[in-house]
Amino acid sequence: MTQLMPALRLEGIVKTFPGVKALDQVSFTVMPGEVHALMGENGAGKSTLMKVLGGLYQPDEGSIFVGENAVSMSNPIDAKKKGIVFIHQELSLAEELSVAENVYLGELPQKSFGRVDWEALYKKTDDILARLKVRFKADTRVADLSIANQQMVEIARALTVDAKAVIFDEPTASLTDAEKRVLFDVIEDLKSQGVGIVYISHRMEEIFKMTDRVSVLRDGQYQGTLLTAETTEENITQMMIGRKLDLSRAIVEHDLGEIAIEVKNLSCGSSYKDVSFHVRCGEVLGFYGLVGAGRTEIAETLFGLRQPSSGSILLDGKEIHIRSPAIAIKEGISLVPEDRKSQGLVLGMNCRDNMTLPQVTDMTAGPFVSDGAEIALFDLYRDRLDIRTPGWQQAVGNLSGGNQQKIVIGKWLSMHPRVLIVDEPTRGIDVGSKSEIHKLIRELAATGYAIIVISSEMPEILHVSDRIVAMYSGEIIQTFSSEEVTEDKLIQAISGIKPKNTEISSAPA
């Protein structure tokens, strides 16, 4: 056996942010012609590591080697020049330009007087496309390609340099099964050409199908590397979770009431299909799954932002048609959206105006808005939710994330809804406020609200939910009660592995 030089080698990478050690002594090695999976929960440090490789962060300690050379990157373009190329989940292509222009964007071959050398451009691009065995030509307009083929353009971009290591970040997130097979073929090809590949994915089946070795990160620490052929899903899952989590709830159990909202066989285009579930008064139903699994789309349907293609929604046993958010609000369904700043708050307005936004129409004295009624309402919910702000006049953009989220929650509570949907309740919120929000959700359930919580964070979903729905690419794989759920069951379900016995524990009573 010959001693091969690794394509990419990381040694003792440390990256600290104020208060957090995001990466702690991370080392791993990718050989040429190897597909190396990198796994870890959200927040385990994968994306920080990628940013270090891409030169967006400089490591505090440790070194990176490409081949035998120690390198340091100042930005992704620099990284590409040094042989490390990224294929991101999200495409960044100029859609109106041709494939060739996109592949060589920023480095178009030139003739005299700055004229583009189209002949050379198309020739070079077609050579790369031939390597990828794709059917489209260099002069095709990118907008005319399918998503999968657009991803091929991204990959072609990577091949304009002599790439030593190509990093795929959740490459299959938006691909169909057939498109995935094409992608996997390309990865096999790259592999046979001696490129080292880092493959980041949450999907176990892909990991076992595609990769040679698996490295696991947890809480910024390198947990070890396994040969994929010699390990099992349980092993990997165990390494990813590791710690024992505090699953105790902050609140005493209470009796559940009637079914508040029930969804039957709801489908919406390609976003999700045949989804059924129900939530009782006083119950928190958690939705867990990967980004793009269809959770947010279900929430948007219940709130009237999307129309289902089939199926029905029943509120208190009566079928309702939610054609717009205004109707959802009138029926008593509220949504705390995923992205607080772009979907939940009007950042240029003050705290009070944000809180009263949906009901200011009803708070008038004569033709004018009644200041007194508004302030009274704001004060009530400021005290009830313990919102810390110097006063109602404060621009909402100046508050901390936790307090902003409380404003959004207060906005809906003040309307006395029946059903409260909270999408990513604590995204971008510090740890202290997180537990406050969790406690608040449990308390609201105890007072009789029917609550749906969507989260990508496992500890959170385990902490707040009475039952948990696990979703994978638009389908509900399984519904767990809080007694039966475990972390590895949940991870397997959201990776698309169906339970062995198909008994679903959530048939409405």
Partner 1 sequence: MNSINVKRHLSSSAIWIFIVFELIFFSVVGSFLSITDSAFMDTSNMLLLLKQSAPIGIIAVGMTLIMVNGNIDLSVGAVFAIAGIILLDSMSWAVFSGLGDWVIPVSWALALTAGALLGALNGLIVWKTGVDAFIVTLGSMLGYRGLVFMFNGENPTSNLNWTLVDFAEAQFLGFHTATWFLAMTVLVVWLITRYTVHGRNAYAIGNNREAAVNAGIRVGPHMLINFTIIGFLAALSAVVFYSESGSVNPNDGQLYELWVITAVVLGGTKLAGGSGSIIGTLGGVLAIQLLRKGLGYIGADTSTVNLAIGLILIVVLYIDRQINVKGAQELKV
Q: Which residues form the interface with partner 1 (CB under 8 A)?
A: 303, 305, 324-326, 328-330, 335, 337, 342-349, 353, 357-358, 360-361, 363-364, 367-369, 390, 397-398, 411
Least separation in angstroms between residue 413's CB and partner 1 is: 14
> Which CB sits closer to partner 1, 240 or 298?
298
Least separation in angstroms between residue 368's CB and partner 1 is: 4
Query: What is the spatial distance between Cα 273 and Cα 182, in angstroms, rounded to a whole number?
Result: 25
Q: Tell me which H or E stretch contains 275.
A: strand 272-280
Least separation in angstroms between residue 416's CB and partner 1 is: 14
Least separation in angstroms between residue 330's CB and partner 1 is: 8
Tokens coding 317: 């046993």
- Residue 509 burial (10 A CB sphere; 0-12, 13-18, 19+): exposed
Least separation in angstroms between residue 343's CB and partner 1 is: 5
Least separation in angstroms between residue 336's CB and partner 1 is: 9
Tell me the residue type at 346. Answer: V
Least separation in angstroms between residue 430's CB and partner 1 is: 15
Query: What is the spatial distance between Cα 425 and Cα 269, in angstroms, rounded to a whole number?
Result: 26
Of 500, 502, 463, 501, the residue nearest 485 (C-alpha): 463
Query: What is the spatial distance between Cα 213 and Cα 38, in angstroms, rounded to a whole number?
Result: 9
Query: What is the spatial distance between Cα 476 and Cα 41, in angstroms, rounded to a whole number?
Result: 20
Nearest-5° Cα angle at 319, 316 to 320: 100
> Which CB sits closer to partner 1, 148 or 328?
328
Of 473, 438, 442, the residue nearest 457 (C-alpha): 438
Least separation in angstroms between residue 370's CB and partner 1 is: 10
Strand ranges of the sheet holding 419-423, from the earlier edge strand across to the other edge: 333-336, 419-423, 450-455, 284-289, 467-472, 475-481
Q: Is 468 in contact with 491 (CB distance < 8 Å)?
A: no
DSSP string, 134-179: -SS-TTSBGGGS-HHHHHHHHHHHHTTS--SEEEEESTTTT--HHH
Give the DSSP letter of residue 5: P
Tokens coding 112: 């005299």
Least separation in angstroms between residue 60's CB and partner 1 is: 22
- Alpha-helical (H) ranges within 414-452 are 431-446
Q: Is 404 in contact with 345 (CB distance < 8 Å)?
A: yes
Of 228, 135, 229, 127, the residue nearest 182 (C-alpha): 135
Least separation in angstroms between residue 10's CB and partner 1 is: 31
> Which CB sits closer to partner 1, 210 or 315?
315
Helix 177-192 to helix 147-158 angle (10° resolution) is 10
Tell me the residue type at 336. Answer: V
Q: Is 104 in contact with 125 (CB distance < 8 Å)?
A: yes
Query: What is the spatial distance between Cα 376 and Cα 203, in angstroms, rounded to a whole number?
Result: 50
Least separation in angstroms between residue 40's CB and partner 1 is: 28
